[in-house]
Amino acid sequence: MSWTVDRLARHGGGAAPSRSTPTRAGTRAMYDEQEQPPEHGPLAGFTVGVTAARRADELGALLERRGAVVLHAPALRIVPLADDSELLAATKDIIGQVPDIAVATTAIGFRGWVEAADGWGLGEDLLARLRGVRILARGPKVKGAIRAAGLTEEWSPASESLAEVLDRLLEEGVDGLRIAVQLHGEPLPGFVESLRAGGAEVVGVPVYRWLPPEDLGPVDRLIDATVARALDTVTFTSAPAAASLLSRAGERGLLDELVAALGHDVLPACVGPVTALPLQARGIDTVQPERFRLGPLVQLLCRELPSRARSLPVAGHRLEI
């Protein structure tokens, strides 16, 4: 629940803007929004839970500049690449037996893989093997990382959807092919198993792996705040983080209460549809930006949260609840 005075006056009391591409006036308004002092920003008076481990500072800063109070509780931690024996083993496997196809899923993961291979003295060998491989890139960011490494992708879906990559591979036929799949923090069982069911030999490349946080205190505080309706929204930027939060709530006997809060009073905001899957599996509806990026996610909250607030007239002002 959030309490602010006169926020309706600042936003004109109207409905939330359209989610379509901004007009020139809309773009100007976005810049004006960014130039406002935080106490007068569109998120002033709202409290936002952030579950991200990676780029959490960036997301928190974007929210705070727009006036939000941020409760940061990384639901996961990332295994350092240089210390990852599983990644080293997969890299040696690919160098020793070159795949027919490589699927690159995230830019940070692909860059990290190449950097880790360099650190192990295997970077040149890895890139030499990948130059003769058909590379499929999930989206434009990873496509840029592939090209920065001196490689060229064969194809990338406009949707940035791994499901579309899978559909293309299965339509072409994968029987007898060796396919390397860059895993982005989770095993991707549906993707990998579908390829194996089609007859492919799949080599998983665990470019970065998630583990539970060493300190569960912040996660527990976020769960408690959500159940108590002390947050207006919880943001999710990865499916493993969403799954981890639900799992921890289950361990504490609070899963039903957390699901109820996220289903009715606390807005779950996800960076994209893949991130939302663990929540949707529990029957929780989410909001997502049209573009699966942090900036559009924050802009979405700037529209959604004020539009959800209830207001009462108090002493000549509008009090939002």
Answer yes or no: is pLDDT of 32 > 50: no
pLDDT in tens, 253-285: 999 999 999 999 999 999 988 889 899 999 999
232 neighbors 43 (Cβ within 8 angstroms): no
- The pLDDT, as a whole number, for residue 195 is 97
- The pLDDT, as a whole number, for residue 282 is 96
Q: How far apart are CA 304 and CA 14, in angstroms?
A: 12
Q: What would the CATH number be for the domain defined by 81-211? A: 3.40.50.10090
Q: Would you list the domain boundaries of the chain?
A: 4-76+213-320, 81-211
51 neighbors 241 (Cβ within 8 angstroms): yes
Q: Which residues pair with 202 in a beta bridge?
A: 179
- 3-state SS track over 197-247: HCCCEEEEEEEEEEECCCCCHHHHHHHHHHHCCCCCEEEECCHHHHHHHHH
Range 215-231 average pLDDT: 97
126 neighbors 146 (Cβ within 8 angstroms): no
Q: Do domains 4-76+213-320 and 81-211 have the same CATH topology?
A: yes
Q: HSE of 281 in the Cβ direction (CA atoms, 13 Å)?
A: 10
- The pLDDT, as a whole number, for residue 189 is 67
Answer yes or no: is pLDDT of 208 > 80: no
Secondary structure E strands in the chain: 4-5, 47-50, 69-72, 77-78, 101-104, 134-137, 178-185, 201-211, 233-236, 267-270, 311-314, 317-320
pLDDT in tens, 156-193: 999 888 889 999 999 999 999 999 999 876 557 689 99
- The pLDDT, as a whole number, for residue 29 is 42
In CATH terms, the fold of domain 4-76+213-320 is Rossmann fold (3.40.50)
pLDDT band at 310 (very low <50, low <70, confident <90, very high): low
Answer yes or no: is pLDDT of 198 > 60: yes
pLDDT in tens, 104-156: 998 888 998 999 999 999 999 999 999 999 999 998 989 999 999 999 999 99
Most confident of 29-33, 36-40, 200-204: 200-204
Of 250, 249, 289, residue with least CA distance to 269: 289
